[in-house]
Amino acid sequence: MFDLQFPFRLKKRRSLEISNHMPKMSEQYLEEISQQFQIYGEILHAETCKIGHINETYAATYDQAGAQVRYIHQKVNQNVFKDAVAVMDNLVRVTSHLRKKLIERGEKEFTRKALTVVPTRDGKSFFQNGNGDCWRSFYFIEGAKTFESAQTPQQAFEAGKAFGKFQSLLADLPGKRLHETIPEFHNTRKRFLTLQKAIEEDRCNRAKSAAKEIQFALEHEEIVDVLLNALAKGKVPERITHNDTKFNNVMLDQETGKEMCVVDLDTVMPGLVLYDFGDMVRTTTSPTLEDELDLSRVEMRMPMFESLVKGYLETTRDFLLPAEKSYLVFAGKLITFTIGIRFLTDFLTGDTYFRIHRPGHNLDRCRTQFSLVGSIERQEKAMQKLVNKL
């Protein structure tokens, strides 16, 4: 389901052998967690999944009547997602609806095209231990994988198609409004005000080392309210959106390369489709990772953008409004800028939100985002002309 690393395997005494690179835990801890879910059989080994900045994720292999079956066990980061009940309520509603819609459409392999939550032994969607840690489990999606960056225009096309399809399938989700698992997650004005406060306080004495990035951010304040104003004036509607549409949140079939499943659903909640498309542009059109050190390599590649927008429009034409379409290019610039100021804010306030792997990591991430904003700005007219033709 995800990229895996650092295996730890069961010894004969049935305790888990933990790699020195693994997060610190007792040898039997993950095995004890796994026993809380409706998973039957003997756990053989488990591996950490290299995915995301937030949650702690493992893939575990079980022997079930002689067949090896894999599951995902994930510990939710409650420093980020403070209401685990709300997160899981959203997740169960969304995945159940996706599966229902796929079946109605007669799609084959629907169990590979939507995540399936494995209930706990007492029928709940997650398990909370004595320490308050929140764990949930999913069926492992075999024969598909994620990629950190798009390697070909076809992959970009599949990513656009996948997220557009995801939005389309959820357009008629019944019931109450979904919970906001992170309130005002893509509110760029709020993010900008938080950055300004971090600059003024400079409690980690880091503003001087980020002077160029701070100047860039402040000079772009004029773009902060554009989509917020469009929503307030009723030009664009609120919809159910993924809100974290990084390229590595789409699983592609290993044999065909076709889109398979959208993952990482903690931030699925009310939002703008433009925020989703903007993050697709940010993570799909550049050849680099989001923490690239060689900024000369960071660029918005037009062939990737063209494939991305074609894939997205293929699966959203049944509901996307002309006004939403008109903002697609701008959204790419805005969301890239927004993520950039979030990285910059975290750097200035001591790296408390995003996991870092080296000193200055969040500042490196910020610089990459701002370089991509510049590349988009240089090509914005050509991008808009392309979208207008489609």
CATH number at residue 246: 3.90.1200.10
On whether both 128 and 193 belong to a single domain, the answer is: no
Q: Give me the average pLDDT of each 10-residue run along the chain (390 residues).
A: 44 36 55 90 82 74 92 85 91 97 94 95 91 90 91 96 97 96 93 98 97 98 98 97 94 96 95 97 93 96 98 96 98 98 98 91 98 98 97
Whole-model pTM: value is 0.87
On whether both 70 and 177 belong to a single domain, the answer is: no
Q: Which pLDDT belongs to residue 274?
A: 98
Measured in Å, how far apart are the chain's first and last C-alpha atoms?
33
3-state percent breakdown (helix, strand, coil) of the chain, nearest 5: 45, 15, 40
Q: Which pLDDT belongs to residue 295?
A: 97
Q: Give residue for tokens 């026993």.
A: 35
* Domain closes at, from 142, 176, 203: 142
Whether residue 33 lies inside any domain: the answer is: yes
Nearest to 295 by CA among 375, 362, 381: 375
- Three-point CA angle 353, 359, 362, nearest 5°: 40
Q: Which pLDDT belongs to residue 31?
A: 83
Q: Which pLDDT belongs to residue 315?
A: 97
On whether both 198 and 256 belong to a single domain, the answer is: yes
CA 214 to chain CA mean position, Å: 26
On whether both 114 and 170 belong to a single domain, the answer is: no
Counting every residue written for the chain, the total comes to 390
Which range marks the domain in which residue 137 is found? 4-142
Residue type, 118: V
Whether residue 175 lies inside any domain: the answer is: yes
On whether both 132 and 222 belong to a single domain, the answer is: no
Contact 246, 220 (CB under 8 A): no
Residues 48 and 19: their CA atoms lie apart, in Å, by 10
CA 181 to chain CA mean position, Å: 13
